[in-house]
Each structure stands twice: as structure tokens, then as C-alpha cells.
Amino acid sequence: MKGILILGFKENSEVNIDTQYPVNICEFLKVTPKSLAILNDEHMKLKMEPNFLDVIIKKDVSVASFYTGFSFRHYVGKPNFAITVFLSDDYILSRELEGMLRRIAHELLPKREALNFDDILGKYYEMLKTGELSPYWEEIIEGENTIIEADDLSTNKEEMVKDSELEAKKDSEIASAKQISEELSEFVDLKEKNQELESLLEEKKGKIRELTKKYTEIVSNKSEAENEIKSLKNEVQEQNIKLEKWGQQLSDLNENNAKLLEEVKNLRNTLTKKENELKIKNQEIVDFKKKVKAAEDIENQIKSLKQEVGEFKVINLRLTDEVETLNKVNKKLKAEMEKVKDGSRIHIDSITNLKLEIRDLKSKMDSEVKEIDKLNKEILDLKKELKVLRRERDHYKEIIKEKNLL
């Protein structure tokens, strides 16, 4: 022998490895609850009463298994368990093995809650390997203990009762057989109803899967829309940054323009002042000429006047040069002002275009937000429908559990 298992069977016919010895025997033999499911099928074929069988569950792995029985009316040790041993390749199967597995079920299963249960199982396994366990053929039937002989296990269990009690219990066994028949009939009806409920449950599960898939698609679309909105927000933010930069540049240009206009104004005032001074000098020259004509007899005065006239001419030439220079500067400033105005006009046009683009982006973002709101509403409706389907599924599960259909 290679090891021993205590198996439990769930309501949905799944096999549960309750205890194993050695503790890693299933991992060593690469045996899983799924590969042990064949034991559940084979045991249940035998009217779900205590039964023994040997089967090959996978390549190079064979087991001998004793099922303790399904009903609380007829069992060994504890109902709905199996004592299973992994057999060696050279092991010779004997009838005594069933009796020893029955004894393990009878003496060990009632102690499952004990803290040292694994140690007790190890001791029984060692006794099983050495053949020190004596067979046990007693079963619990309707609250009574019945002895079953090892040589008569292949015959009907009703014929294994002691000869001295056969007549006294015959009526009781007939009633028990009728009751079992009724229970089996009820079980068949419940099984058919269970199949209908399972079919309905599968239909609901399919609808739940479809809704879940639709929900996943909607969530994915929502994620894409959110990413697009995020991208649009980033683009708007970038455009706002550009707009702020261009606004700052326009402010700087306007400030420079104001400075240039102020300089031009000052130059114009200076030019006007010089022109007034020139007019005054010219008027003084005219007055001096009149004085020269009126006082021709005074030569010294004439010479003096001529000299002053020469000086005024020099001043006039100098002022004329300054006026020409100021005119050139004025023309240059006017050209620069025209350039500044053209640049300002270009920036104003760019700002207008940016404002139009921002308004379009905001409109597009508003439409995307409305689409997200619509998707959120659809998700909420789907969640409500999914919640109703889950309630129906839980209700059917409660019906199955209440009727013990599995």
C-alpha cells in the first residue's frame, strides 16, 4: 500500500479530500479531487448503500474504496464518507481488506473532531498494512445493529440476519423496503425537478454572462471616452498656456509701443519748439533788415547787424540740420510704429483663432461628457438587472439546498 484517504462527498457530487496519510500522498501521486470523481460515480451506482470496490483512477494508480452509505438509516461509522487506500502494484486484493476498511470507518470516523485525528489515522494505516486489524461486518440499519457475515456479502443483505430473528423482523423489513422504495421514488422526482432547476439556473447563468460581457464592453467604452476627454483637457491646457504666453508678449509689445509713442510725442514737441524759435529768429532778421535800411548812415551798426545776420544764418543752418535729423528720426519711429501695429494685428488674429479653437474643443468635450452620462445610466440599468438575476439565482440555490436536491 502507498497511502490512505478519507473522502467526503459534497451536495453537488464533488469529492473532497478530508484527510490523507502520509500528508503529501496525493501530491506525490499527482491525484486531484477531479481524478477521484470516478469513485463518487461508482459508489452511487450501488444504491448508495455501504459498498466496496476497487478501480484504476489513472495510469499506474489503483485504489480500493469502501463507501459508508448515503442514508442515516443505513451506514457504517458515519454517512457519506469513503475510506480509500492506494494499492501497490503487487498487492493481492482480498475480501478481508473490505472488512478492515469497514472497521476503520466504524471506529475512526466518529472521532473526526479529535485533535489527534491524523495521528490515529496513521496508526490504523500501519495496522492495515501489517494486517493487524480484524474485519468488521456490522452495519447500522434503522437504528439497530446488524451483523453481516463476510462470506455472504454477495447476497441480499436482508438474508444475512440471524435465523433466530428472521421471522420476528420480516414484517419490519418489508415495511422498510416499502419505505425505501417510496424514498427512491421521491428521490427520482426530486432529481427530475433538480434537473429542471439546473437547466433554468444554467439559462440564468448564460444571461448573467451576456450582461457581464456587455457591462465589460460599456466600461471599456467609458474608459476610452475618459481617455479622450483627458487628452482634450490636456490640449486645452496647452492652448491656454500658449494663449497666456502670447498675451504676455502682446502686453510687452503694447508697453513698448506706448514708450515709442511717448518718445515720438516728445520729439514732436521739441520740433515744434525749434520751429517756433526759428520763426522768432527769422522775424528778428526781418526787423534787423528794416533797421539796416532805416539806419544806413550808421556803418558800425550795419557791420554789427551784418555780423549778427551771419551768426543767425549759421544758427539757421544748424537748426535746419537738426530739423532734418528730427524728421528722419520721426520717419524711423513711424516705420517702427507701423511694424508694431502689424505685429499686434497678427497676434490679435492668432488669439481670435485660438479662442475659436478653444470654444470648439469645449463643445466637443461637452458632447463627450453627455455621452459618458448616457453610458453611466446604461451601466446603472445593467447593474439593476444583474442584481435581479443574482437574486433569482440565490433563490433557486436556496430551493435546491432546502429540498436537498443535490
pLDDT tens column, 2-14: 999 999 987 767 8
| pLDDT in the model for residue 219 | 67
Indicate whether 144 pLDDT > 50.
Answer: no
Beta strands 81-87 and 144-147 are unpaired
Q: How confident is the model at residue 162 (pLDDT cuts 50, 70, 90)?
A: very low
Indicate whether 147 pLDDT > 70.
Answer: no
Q: How far is CA 295 from the centre of its chain?
A: 115
| pLDDT in the model for residue 121 | 92
Stretch 143-165: mean pLDDT: 44
Q: Could you tell me the maximum CA-CA distance found in the chain, to the nearest angstrom?
A: 191
How far apart are alpha carbons 233 and 358 in whole angstroms? 10
Q: Which residue has the higher pLDDT, 173 or 198?
A: 198
Q: How confident is the model at residue 294 (pLDDT cuts 50, 70, 90)?
A: low
At 278-291, the pLDDT tens digits run 888 888 878 777 77
Q: How many CB atoms lie within 10 A of CB 352?
A: 10
Q: How confident is the model at residue 320 (pLDDT cuts 50, 70, 90)?
A: confident
In the three-class reduction of DSSP (H, G, I as helix; E, B as strand; rest coil), residue 99 is classed as: helix
Stretch 362-388: mean pLDDT: 78
Stretch 260-269: mean pLDDT: 84
C-alpha dihedral sign at 288, 290, 294, 297? positive
Stretch 19-48: mean pLDDT: 86
Q: Which residue has the higher pLDDT, 397 or 299?
A: 397
| pLDDT in the model for residue 49 | 84
Peptide bond into 135 cis (omega under 30): no
The torsion of the CA quartet 226, 231, 234, 236, rounded to 10 degrees, works out to -100
| pLDDT in the model for residue 290 | 77
Mean pLDDT rounded to a whole number for the chain? 78
Q: How confident is the model at residue 292 (pLDDT cuts 50, 70, 90)?
A: low
Burial profile 113-136: b = 16 or more Cβ within 10 angstroms, e = fewer: eeeebeebbeebbeebeeeebeeb
| pLDDT in the model for residue 400 | 75
| pLDDT in the model for residue 127 | 92
| pLDDT in the model for residue 84 | 95
In the three-class reduction of DSSP (H, G, I as helix; E, B as strand; rest coil), residue 138 is classed as: strand
Asked if 210 and 385 count as a contact pair (C-beta separation under 8 A), the reply is: no
Polymer length in residues for the chain: 406
Indicate whether 123 pLDDT > 90.
Answer: yes
Indicate whether 315 pLDDT > 90.
Answer: no
How far apart are alpha carbons 68 and 157 in whole angstroms? 15
| pLDDT in the model for residue 101 | 93
Indicate whether 86 pLDDT > 90.
Answer: yes
| pLDDT in the model for residue 169 | 57
